Structure 1
């Protein structure tokens, strides 16, 4: 009986290992690194929230009611918060655990929608991030949005979707880095 349990356990373990895994996307946008600091070690506390309605980062529609959601390999909110912190550090801000100046990043949308037909695909990518800068008395709120559409003659790979989403996230991070209104508010109120 013990041998039978051992053999059946091994078979279950082997079948679990050999089952196909769902594809996942690696989200790793590079921050916009500044060569000239805009702040002189001004302290800022960075927080983030993921306010997306769904946690997947891509949806592939192959027609015939065959829709496949694709998840990210890591937490998108954490990855974006880390990129934003590195970006702020390069701009001369000092990110600390607690300060009067708080910058909150709300992730509102980060999604690639792919529609496949017999001989082509269309890929629509959307990113929306809201930043809230607050010192307890004054508040600055702004949304940063990015959209792109690409078409191809073959099916879209996971790598194509990763490139589309990472490129758009980097473009939105670059918009944040270049936003003079945001920098002015942070320098005057933090």
Structure 2
């Protein structure tokens, strides 16, 4: 029994000490409105993550070695919180008992990185779908943000974080500025 316990402990400690790939800091910023457009209209907020893979970056160094990088934060929860802040600044508020709902679906969030010692190229894509629904109908909008960035030397984790967060901020800004979505929610909620 002691041998088995020793062996299990040794395997567990070895697994814990194995090097872990770095994780990126996913920290998009909500675009807060200074002029509320709604007067306390309520809605229920839900979200889904339907991405095919949970990593947020694929780093290809050209040596037949592609490394996936994950985010430290849960993307779905982080984006849901930022969207809730944005909508609250516009005068809407979340409620568990509302007949109105807003559903955010994270469809894609990925930075493809190709780099060598001398240069790097990053292609980023973030896709969010937002559905505003009332008992009388619904509005579905898809927001896409893309970016392409090249630089000298290899891309650092901070460079990849910056591109991912910048593209996500662009998508959140599009949602905040979407007059069709604002009018639908203000008039029908």
Same fold (TM over 0.5): yes
Deviations 1:98-146 (A, max 9, x none): 3121111111111010011341110111011111111022111111111
Give me the whole-angstrom Cα distance separating, in 1, the residues matched to 2:141 and 2:46.
15
In the other structure, the counterpart of 1:50 is 49
Count of residues paired in the alignment:
189
SS of the aligned residue for 1:36 comes to coil
Q: In the TM superposition, what whole-angstrom CA distance separates every residue of 1:23-53 from its partner, at most 9, and x where no partner exists?
A: 1112111100111111100001111111111
* Partner in structure 1 of residue 114 of structure 2: 115
Q: Could you tell which deviates more after superposition, 8-17 or 20-29? A: 8-17
After TM superposition, where is structure 1 displaced by more than 4 Å over at least 4 residues in a row?
Answer: 4-14
Q: Distance in 1 between matches of 2:140 and 2:12?
A: 51
- Flag structure 1 segments of 5+ consecutive residues without an equivalent: none
> Residues 139-180 of structure 1, C-alpha deviation per residue, up to 9 Å, x if partnerless?
111111110011111111111111111111111111111111
Structure 1 residues 9 and 134: alpha-carbon distance in aligned structure 2, compared to 1, 3 A threshold? closer
For normalisation by structure 2, the TM-score amounts to: 0.92
Contact map agreement 1:138 1:189 (CA 8 A) in 2: no
- Post-superposition offset of 1:14: 5.1
Question: Which range is displaced more, 47-56 or 12-21?
Answer: 12-21
Q: Which runs of 5+ in 2 are unaligned?
A: none
Other-structure match for 2:70: 71
What pairs with 1:1-190 in structure 2 (closer than 5 Å)?
A: 2=2, 12=11, 15-190=14-189
